[in-house]
Amino acid sequence: MNRLSTFAAALALSAALLPAHGATLQPDKSELSFTFKQMGVPVDGKFKKFEAQLDFDAKKPEAGKIAFTVDLGSVSLGDPSFDKELAGSTWFDTKRNGKATFVSTGIKPTGAGKYDVAGKLTIKGASRDVVVPITLSSGVAAGSVPIKRLDFKVGDGEWADTSVVANDVTVKFKLSFSGL
């Protein structure tokens, strides 16, 4: 459940690194997933719905901007009962906080086709500064970023105990864009 938040952040950062103005996210060719550990066992999930607004030029990456939104209600662990639990108030609270957002504040080139995208990730009303490393190749931005679920109030009450569900979530993304 916390992993989903991490994925949202990663997707947002990935989109920020695309090398052209007016690039359009191709959701059907893109993936936003996350991994966390429950009782020491890795659990994988994904978000099915997300969108991005991108303004990026590889010749001037520092001037680039990205805004990314993830529909938290589209989270899936592959079991409808788990997905319903994730949407509840203890985890994502999608009735009051249906979206996670990322807005970039800076893009820094770190090598050929590689960038660090800094920005604000907001989940359940909690905002944190994050930096996501991105690799850009042939219109595809890919990478992963670690996030702490409790920084975003994901997993309240008894679930705040990290001995059952770890605090660490890794968000992975592969974002395909057209018009690059």
Give the C-alpha separation, 17 to 57, whole Å: 9
> What is the tens place of the pLDDT at every residue in 139-180?
888 989 899 999 999 998 889 999 999 999 999 999 898 876
Beta pairing class for 31-38 and 41-47? antiparallel
**Of 32, 12, 5, the residue nearest 167 (C-alpha):** 5
Q: What does the pLDDT read at residue 22? A: 63
Which residue's entry shows tokens 């966390």? 36
Residue 132, pLDDT above cutoff 70: yes
CATH number at residue 9: 2.40.128.110
Residue 129, pLDDT above cutoff 60: yes
Sign of CA dihedral 6, 34, 114, 52: negative
Strand, helix or coil for residue 46: strand
pTM above 0.85, yes or no: no
Domain that holds residue 51: 2-178
Tally of structural domains, the chain = 1
Give the C-alpha separation, 129 to 3, whole Å: 17
Residue 50, pLDDT above cutoff 60: yes
Strand, helix or coil for residue 139: coil
